[in-house]
C-alpha cells in the first residue's frame, strides 16, 4: 500500500510539472488543465486513504493490518 501511495504522489507531482511546462509553452492549454485536474483527483484520493478518522484509524493502516 505504501508503494502505491508513493507512486500516486510522484505521478501527481509529475503531472503538475508537465502541465506547467505545457502552459508556459503556450500550446495544448486544454490538456494542461486536464493534467492539473487529474493531479488534484490523485492527491485527493491519497489524502482520503491516509487521513485518520476521529478514532485514529485510516484506510491505509487497516489495509496493512490485513496483510
Name the domain count of the chain.
1
Q: What is the pLDDT at residue 50?
A: 87
Q: Is residue 2 pLDDT above 90, yes or no?
A: no
Across the range 11-19, mean pLDDT stands at 97
**What is the domain extent for residue 33?**
18-66
Q: Would you say residue 34 lies in a domain?
A: yes
Q: What is the pLDDT at residue 29?
A: 93
Nine-digit cell at 20? 506547467
Q: Residue 15 contacts by C-beta under 8 Å, 6 or more apart in sequence?
A: 35, 36, 38, 39, 42
Q: What is the pLDDT at residue 66?
A: 66
Please give the Cα distance from 21 to 58 (Å, whole number): 35
Q: Would you say residue 40 lies in a domain?
A: yes
Q: What is the pLDDT of residues 21-67, one digit of tens each?
A: 999 998 889 999 999 999 999 999 999 888 888 888 877 777 777 66
Amino acid at each position: 500500500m505504501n508503494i502505491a501511495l508513493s507512486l500516486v504522489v510522484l505521478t501527481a507531482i509529475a503531472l503538475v510539472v508537465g502541465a506547467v511546462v505545457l502552459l508556459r509553452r503556450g500550446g495544448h492549454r486544454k490538456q494542461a488543465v486536464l493534467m492539473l485536474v487529474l493531479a488534484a483527483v490523485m492527491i485527493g484520493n491519497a489524502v482520503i486513504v491516509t487521513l485518520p478518522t476521529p478514532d485514529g484509524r485510516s484506510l491505509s493502516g487497516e489495509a496493512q493490518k490485513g496483510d
